[in-house]
Amino acid sequence: MSAQKGDKESNSKGESFEEMITPYVIDALEAVKNGTQFVFEEAPDVIRQYVMFAAVSAWSSVILGIAIIFIGVYVLPRRITTKEKPSDSDSYRQILSGRWIKYSSYDVVIEDIIYYVANTVGYIIGTAIFLCNILDAIKITFFPKLYLVETFIHLIK
Mean pLDDT of 21-33: 80
The range of the structural domain enclosing residue 68 comes to 2-156
Averaged over 147-151, what is the pLDDT?
90
Give the residue among 135, 120, 137 at the shortest CA–CA distance from 58. 137
Among 138, 137, 125, smallest CA distance to 70 is for: 125
- pLDDT (tens digit, 9 = 90+) per residue, 88-132? 666 666 665 666 666 665 555 666 677 777 788 888 999 999 999
Q: Judge whether residue 81 has pLDDT over 90.
A: no
* Residue of 44, 54, 61, 66 whose CA lies nearest to 143: 54
More confident residue, 9 or 59: 59
Higher pLDDT, 27 or 126: 126
Domain count across the chain: 1
Query: Is the model more confident about 143 or about 46?
Result: 143
CB contact at 8 A, 104 and 116: no
What is d(CA 52, CA 32) in angstroms, rounded to the nearest whole number?
A: 29
Percentage of residues in the chain having pLDDT higher than 90: 24
pLDDT for the residue numbered 110 = 66
The answer on pLDDT for 42 being more than 60 is: yes
